Amino acid sequence: MFKKILVGIDTSEHSRNAQAYAFTLARKFGATLLGLHVVDIVSIEGSFFHDISGSLGLEPYLDFSTKMREVLTARGRGVLDEFAAAATREGIAAETTLDMGIVANQICERARSADLVMIGHRGVNERFSTGLLGSTAESVARKCPRPLLISPNRYREIVRPVLAYDGSERASRSMRTAAEFASELGVPLTVVTVTRDMKLGERTLGEARAYFENYTPKAEFKLLQGHANEEIVRFLKECDADLLFIGAYGHSRIIEMVLGSTTEYVLRNAPCPVFLSR
């Protein structure tokens, strides 16, 4: 199912948990990991340092930039060495890559050669982010060309995955992924449909029941009434779910920067990892 998994690596706790999930999935699926660390060009040449150097009249700004680049590059190599050593101890095949640029852009570019991308909910600069989702994670979620798993600040074994299904094409793609994933891990999947029209909801959930007839372990099905975004998050908390599968929109030029409102709300508020299908 997944032969190559790209995992974003930095020094944050969220990244370490993304790494733990990546190790788990690599073992389950026999995948090779690609650990990617990006030296953030914005932190070296962004407006913050330009403003400081300009206001203080510092001529050797370029030298300062060079030193910053050297320090951050050395730190990045160290982080990747630790990742590679941990993968070796776990008996997992792993490669490492060090890039320089805008973090989200580099992750999305490298994603083209992977089957799955895994990142933390927030990165090393989380204290400077707004809202509940880090700016890099939000940008990657909007632009990543491959399936994406965003992990929170706590690792848990995956035993209670949930699929949010609304009958759309993107939800159908997510359903196929969730079915294969749960079957491979040998865990039961709960399929949730949220509706304001119970007759329509029953028909939508019936489609999912028909799809899962021949899968094992057997799936469970729940029909909820209300606003989809709020009900999905509430259900995840009530059933103590440890992974959510949900569809994301594609990448036409008009909508590549827009996630569905339900998807975006869930990403920001879900208490568990979120798997975005493409």
Rounded to an integer, the average pLDDT of 17-29 is: 96
In the predicted structure, residue 185 carries a pLDDT above the cut 90: yes
Give the rounded percent of residues in the chain with a pLDDT score beyond 70: 83
> Domain map of the chain by residue range?
4-151, 161-277
The whole-angstrom separation of Cα 69 and Cα 88 is 28
Predicted pLDDT at 211: 96
Predicted pLDDT at 265: 86
- DSSP type of residue 220: E
Kindly give, in sequence order, each residue whose CB lies less than 8 Å from that of residue 69, ignoring residues fewer than 6 positions away: 39, 44, 100
Largest CA distance in the chain: 71
pTM metric for this prediction:
0.86
Instruction: Please return the burial class of 6, using the count of CB atoms within 10 Å of its CB with bins 0-12, 13-18 and 19+.
Output: buried
- For domain 161-277, give the fold: Rossmann fold (3.40.50)
What would the pLDDT profile of 103-156 be if each residue is shown by its tens digit?
999 999 999 999 999 999 865 554 434 444 568 888 898 899 999 999 988 899
Q: Residue type for 19, please?
A: Q
Structure tokens at 226: 């209300």
Task: Return the HEC string of 185-231.
Answer: HCCCCEEEEEECCHHHHHHHHHHHHHHCCCCCCCCEEEEEECCHHHH
Q: Which CATH class is domain 4-151?
A: alpha beta
Q: Residue type for 10, please?
A: D
The whole-angstrom separation of Cα 137 and Cα 255 is 18
Predicted pLDDT at 255: 38
